[in-house]
């Protein structure tokens, strides 16, 4: 089994787009911004499974705020590389969010369809505030208008894996964000 280290590139990976050091630095900056924006308050993270788990965990540790954590799981991709446009709720919150300051923590926003669905779903539950933190923003692919108040990085329209992002449930464990070689997923019309 290959050693997991920042300079290890699986053969399916073309290049590292964002190093683990760059991600760590940006997550710390976002944590400090959350401390300023929610000073003296409590914050509930709603982590979008599965891809946002590493980002949510690191972001929680990057802030001194009291943070509660809950999860939702949705599906719009399956094993494909492009969203189907149909969003299904697979796992709902375990605790109510009414009257709370809620931060949706997402790994990547591209078309905005999934995030728009989640934001609307949670807004109907009466949180005091509802904002979004996304590690990655593929803004040029946006088809639905959604607000993303905290963005880690804007990236080009390339298929990325690592730091929670996957292709067919693989590569989530890479400590960086990398571009997947097109021949790995070429047969899907991506």
Q: Looking at 107, 110, 137, 166, which residue is catalytic? A: 110
Do residues 175 and 4 make contact, with C-beta atoms less than 8 angstroms apart? yes
CB atoms within 10 A of CB 84: 12
Buried b (16+ CB within 10 A) or exposed e, 98-110: eebbbbbbbbbbb
Query: Is 92 a catalytic site residue?
Result: no
Read off the DSSP letter of residue 12.
T
| SS3 at position 69 | strand
Give catalytic residues, as residue numbers.
110
């Amino acid at each position: 089994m290959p050693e997991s280290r920042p300079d290890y590139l699986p053969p399916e990976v073309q290049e590292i787009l964002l190093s683990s050091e760059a991600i760590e630095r940006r997550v710390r900056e976002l944590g400090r911004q959350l401390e300023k924006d929610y000073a003296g308050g409590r914050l509930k993270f709603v982590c979008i499974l599965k891809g946002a788990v590493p980002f949510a965990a690191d972001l929680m540790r990057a802030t001194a705020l009291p943070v509660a954590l809950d999860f939702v799981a949705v599906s719009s991709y399956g094993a494909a590389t492009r969203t189907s446009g149909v969003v299904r709720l697979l796992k709902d919150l375990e605790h109510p969010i009414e009257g709370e300051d809620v931060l949706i923590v997402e790994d990547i926003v591209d078309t905005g369809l999934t995030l728009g669905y989640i934001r609307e779903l949670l807004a109907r539950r009466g949180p005091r505030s509802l904002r979004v933190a996304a590690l990655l923003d593929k803004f040029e692919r946006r088809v639905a208008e959604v607000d993303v108040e905290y963005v880690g990085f804007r990236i080009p329209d390339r298929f990325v894996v690592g730091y929670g992002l996957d292709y067919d449930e693989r590569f989530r464990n890479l400590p960086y964000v990398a571009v997947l070689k097109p021949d790995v997923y070429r047969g899907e019309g991506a």
